[in-house]
Amino acid sequence: MPHTLLGLSGALRAGSTNTALLREAARLYGADSYVQANLNLPLYDGDLEDSAGIPEAVNALVAQIAEADAVLISTPEYNAGVTGVLKNALDWISRHSEKPLVGKPVAVMSAAAGRAGGVRAQTMLRTCLVPFRPRITLAPEMGLAGSGGAFDEDGHLSSERTVASLAALMDVLRADVES
Ligand SMILES: Cc1cc2nc3c(=O)[nH]c(=O)nc-3n(C[C@H](O)[C@H](O)[C@H](O)COP(=O)(O)O)c2cc1C
C-alpha cells in the first residue's frame, strides 16, 4: 500500500534543521508521498475563533493529518521546551470538531543546537500530545544534537550512526502503520 506522511516542524525558518530532519525521516521511511504542513498559523485567540471560526489554514492542517498514514513531528528546543509555533498549532487542532490525531501513528523527534539534542522539548512534546491520543512510537528516541552541523550540503545527515537511529525509528513507525 502507498504510504503518505505529513511532517510538522516546530520551526518556521527556511533553514530549519528540524524541517531537514523530517525530510530525512521521510526519505528513510521510503514514503510514497511526503508533505510538510504549514504551521504559520495565527496565534490562538478565543475572540478570533468566536468571530471568524477556525482559520482555513487550520482546517487544511486538520484535513492533511486525517489523510496521512502517519505524522512526523520534530521540535527544536526553545528554553527547555517546545516552540510556541508547535504548541500553537496543537492548540488550534484541539479546537477543531474533527480529532485527526486519535489513533494516528506518530513519530516524534527533536533537533537542537545543544548537546542533549532537544530531549527536554521532546519530552514536553510527548506530554502535550497526550490529549490528542495518537499512537506515538516509543523508541528509539531521536534527538539530534548540534543540529546546525549535522547535515551535508545535500541536506542529508552526515553521521551514519544518526542515519541508523532515524531509520530504526522509521522502521517502527512503518510497522505501526502496517499493523
Ligand atoms: C528562543 C530560542 C531558545 C533556544 N533554547 C535552546 C535550548 O533550550 N536548548 C537548545 O539546545 N537550543 C536552544 N536554542 C537553539 C536551537 O536549538 C537552535 O536554534 C536550533 O537550530 C533550532 O532549530 P531549527 O534549526 O529547526 O530552527 C534556542 C534557540 C532559540 C531561538
Contact 82, 128 (CB under 8 A): yes
pLDDT in tens, the chain (179 residues): 779 999 999 999 999 999 999 999 999 999 999 999 999 999 999 999 999 999 999 999 999 999 999 999 999 999 999 999 999 999 999 999 999 999 999 999 999 999 999 999 999 999 999 999 999 998 899 999 999 999 999 999 999 999 999 999 999 999 999 99
Contact 74, 21 (CB under 8 A): yes
How far, in Å, from the CA of 76 to the mean position of ligand 1?
A: 6
Pairing of β 143-144 and β 105-111: parallel
- For cell 553521521, name the residue: 159
| Residue 148 Cβ < 6 Å to ligand 1 | yes
Spell out the domain ranges in the chain: 4-178
- Which ligand 1 atom sits nearest the alpha carbon of residue 111? 23
Angle at 145 between CA 139 and CA 151, to 5 degrees: 105
Task: Select the CATH number that applies to the domain covering 4-178 from these four: 3.30.413.10, 3.40.50.800, 3.40.50.360, 2.170.190.11.
Answer: 3.40.50.360
| Residue 147 Cβ < 6 Å to ligand 1 | yes
Per-residue model confidence (pLDDT) at position 1: 74
| Residue 17 Cβ < 6 Å to ligand 1 | yes
| Residue 84 Cβ < 6 Å to ligand 1 | no
Q: Examine residue 140 and say whether the peptide bond preceding it is cis (omega within 30 degrees of 0).
A: yes
How far, in Å, from the CA of 178 to the mean position of ligand 1?
A: 34
How far, in Å, from the CA of 112 to the mean position of ligand 1?
A: 5
